[in-house]
């Protein structure tokens, strides 16, 4: 090093007007309501928490069992269990005051009006820095994913949320579609500041001894390392289709996993299932990404966003 200290690469990132000190978000539904991890996690060591999705009315969720492990992942069918926006605002949101990281509220809905109303009410709270709309929940019957699977409805849900808040708006897309890029373009045109790519992949497991599905809901959403290649491809394709930043997610456990997403075109990443196996995964990702950047002489994470994608396009 000839006595010259190399600068530590910067990892800060902007998603619209949402500025993150670190590029690691905790995925919605995978961090409890955000406070359960407090004994294990230094919140200053993560970019932000995406809270559990909340709906207009309370939801009991799906019949149990709601989780089933699979090779390299897990199936879940929670069914958007939540207390509804009234109780959520009264009891839960205040717990997120003064967190040293971004706090992103997640809104789920069953109508365009739901997205407008719940977004407006949640975003009005000072504790909430940004809104993510979950238009892609696969575990609540067909209606949960209808918005993510129909370009026109995806656009309308986005426009409704956009009209309800000036805070940064992230829209979470489903992989369970024929052409994710068309949905991404429509959502961008409707005013989204960033895209979350991807939610879980529909799946099912059957208990052959009991001769019945392992999940009470029969089908569920697959997450974890099993879906990572699907997610990386989705980010790769979406990055070629839109200009707004992407939060890549699906099976990230390590820094090298996260780097795949950055190189494909994600500006930030989200860790969901990886938190269940290792609550320190976010810190390990941050440290490993910094080491990778430093070893290659990069001054900032943003220098490698989409690098593999651009290099591949240039080589063709
Ligand atoms: C148990 C569980 C609950 C989830 N709940 C939500 C939710 O409420 N809202 C949402 O947008 N995504 C939800 N997700 C999806 C995750 O946020 C994430 O997008 C997905 O699992 C892929 O990332 P991963 O492989 O890192 O988990 C849930 C995932 C799991 C495993």
More confident residue, 28 or 141: 28
* Catalytic positions: 137
Quote the mean pLDDT of the chain.
93
User: In a mutational test of the pocket of ligand 1, which residue from 199, 247, 268 has the highest number of ligand atoms less than 8 Å from its CB?
Assistant: 199
Whether residue 140 has pLDDT greater than 50:
yes
* pTM reported for the whole predicted model: 0.96
User: In a mutational test of the pocket of ligand 1, which residue from 24, 26, 28, 73 has the highest number of ligand atoms less than 8 Å from its CB?
Assistant: 28
Provide, rounded to the nearest whole percent, the portion of the chain with pLDDT above 90.
85
Mean pLDDT for 215-224 is 97
* pLDDT band at residue 33 using 50, 70 and 90 as cut-offs: low
Q: What is the pLDDT of residues 158-177, one digit of tens each?
A: 999 999 999 999 999 999 99
Fold of the domain built from segment(s) 13-315: TIM Barrel (3.20.20)
Other Cβ atoms within 10 Å of 108 Cβ, number:
26
The minimum-distance atom of ligand 1 relative to the CA of 136 is 11
| Per-residue pLDDT at 36 | 75
- Tokens 């509804």 belong to 84
Domain borders along the chain are 13-315
Burial tier of 281 (Cβ tally within 10 Å: 0-12, 13-18, 19+)? buried
Q: What angle separates helix 307-315 from helix 255-264, to the nearest 10 degrees?
A: 50
β-bridge mates for residue 131, sequence order: 105, 169
- Both tokens assigned to 90: 């009264």
Q: What is the pLDDT of residues 102-113, one digit of tens each?
A: 999 999 999 999
Whether residue 9 has pLDDT greater than 60:
yes
- Both tokens assigned to 206: 């059957």
Q: What is the DSSP string of 119-186?
A: HHHHHTSTT--EEEEE---TTSSHHHHHHHHSHHHHHHHHHHHHHH-SS-EEEEEPSSSS-HHHHHHH
Q: What is the pLDDT of residues 51-66, one digit of tens each?
A: 999 999 999 999 999 9
Whether residue 32 has pLDDT greater than 80:
no
């Amino acid at each position: 090093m000839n006595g010259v200290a190399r600068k530590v690469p910067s990892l800060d990132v902007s998603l619209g007007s949402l500025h993150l000190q670190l590029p690691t978000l905790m995925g919605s539904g995978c961090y409890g309501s955000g406070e359960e991890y407090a004994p294990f996690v230094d919140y200053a060591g993560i970019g932000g928490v995406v809270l559990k999705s909340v709906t207009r009315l309370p939801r009991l969720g799906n019949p149990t069992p709601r989780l089933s492990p699979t090779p390299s992942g897990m199936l879940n069918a929670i069914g958007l269990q939540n207390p509804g926006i009234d109780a959520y605002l009264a009891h839960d949101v205040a717990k997120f005051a003064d967190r040293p990281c971004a706090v992103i509220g997640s809104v789920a809905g069953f109508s365009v009006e739901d997205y407008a109303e719940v977004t407006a009410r949640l975003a009005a709270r000072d504790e909430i820095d940004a809104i993510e709309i979950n238009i892609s929940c696969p575990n609540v019957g067909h209606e949960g994913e209808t918005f993510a699977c129909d370009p026109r409805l995806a656009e309308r849900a986005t426009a409704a949320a956009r009209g309800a808040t000036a805070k940064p708006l992230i829209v979470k897309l489903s992989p369970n579609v024929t052409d994710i890029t068309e949905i991404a373009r429509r959502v961008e045109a409707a005013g989204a500041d960033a895209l979350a790519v991807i939610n879980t992949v529909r799946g099912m497991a059957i208990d052959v001894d009991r001769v019945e599905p392992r999940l009470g809901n029969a089908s569920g959403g697959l997450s974890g390392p099993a879906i990572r290649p699907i997610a990386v491809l989705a980010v790769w394709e979406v990055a070629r289709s839109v200009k707004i930043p992407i939060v890549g997610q699906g099976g990230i456990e390590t820094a090298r996993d996260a780097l795949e997403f950055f190189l494909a075109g994600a500006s930030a990443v989200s860790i969901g299932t990886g938190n269940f196996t290792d609550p320190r995964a976010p810190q390990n990702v941050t440290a490993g990404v910094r080491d990778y950047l430093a070893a290659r002489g990069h001054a900032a994470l943003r220098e490698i966003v989409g690098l593999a994608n651009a290099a591949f396009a240039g080589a063709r």
